[in-house]
Amino acid sequence: MANAEIGVIGGSGFYSFLDDVTEVQVETPYGPPSDSLFLGEIAGRKVAFLPRHGRGHHLPPHRINYRANMWALRSVGVRQVLGPCAVGSLRPEYGPGTLLVPDQLVDRTKSRAQTYFDGLPLPDGTVPNVVHVSLADPYCPTGRTSALKAAHGRHWEPVDGGTLVVIEGPRFSTRAESLWHRAQGWSVVGMTGHPEAALARELELCYTSLTLVTDLDAGAGTGEGVSHEEVLQAFAANVDRLRGVLFDTVAALPANEARDCLCANALNGMDPGFQLPQGQ
Ligand SMILES: [Zn+2]
pLDDT of the residue at 128: 95
For residues 134 and 267, the answer to whether their CB atoms sit within 8 Å is no
Task: Let me know if residue 66 belongs to a domain.
Answer: no
CA-closest candidate to residue 234, choices 252, 217, 215, 209: 215
Beta pairing partners, 50: 9
Residue 20 among the catalytic residues? no
Task: Let me know if residue 279 belongs to a domain.
Answer: no
Task: Let me know if residue 195 belongs to a domain.
Answer: yes
**Dihedral sign of CA atoms 72, 74, 77, 81 in order:** positive
Q: Which domain holds residue 124?
A: 84-265
Task: Let me know if residue 1 belongs to a domain.
Answer: no
For residues 15 and 52, the answer to whether their CB atoms sit within 8 Å is no
Could you list the beta-strand ranges (E) of the chain: 6-10, 22-24, 37-42, 45-51, 80-89, 99-101, 104-108, 159-160, 163-167, 188-190, 206-216
Bond prior to 195 in cis (omega within 30° of 0) = yes
pLDDT of the residue at 234: 80
Task: Let me know if residue 156 belongs to a domain.
Answer: yes
What CA–CA distances, in Å, run from 125 to 29, 33, 237, 271? 11, 21, 48, 16
Number of structural domains in the chain:
1
Beta pairing partners, 22: 39
How many A from CA of 256 to the centre of ligand 1? 9
Q: Which residues surround ligand 1, an ion (CB under 5 A)?
A: 140, 206, 261, 263
Task: Let me know if residue 19 belongs to a domain.
Answer: no
How many A from CA of 37 to the centre of ligand 1? 22
- Predicted TM-score of the model (pTM): 0.95
How many A from CA of 246 to the centre of ligand 1? 16
Task: Let me know if residue 173 belongs to a domain.
Answer: yes
**What's the CA gap between 233 and 237, in Å, rounded?**
6
Question: pLDDT per position in the chain (280 positions), as tens?
Answer: 559 999 999 876 666 667 789 999 999 999 999 999 999 999 999 999 999 999 888 999 999 999 999 999 999 999 999 999 999 999 999 999 999 999 999 999 999 999 999 999 999 999 999 999 999 999 999 999 999 999 999 999 999 999 999 999 999 999 999 999 999 999 999 999 999 999 999 999 999 999 999 999 887 776 667 788 888 888 888 888 999 999 999 999 999 999 999 999 999 889 999 999 998 6
**What's the CA gap between 148 and 119, in Å, rounded?**
38
CATH label of the domain that carries residue 91: 3.40.50.1580
pLDDT of the residue at 57: 86
pLDDT of the residue at 229: 83
Task: Let me know if residue 215 belongs to a domain.
Answer: yes
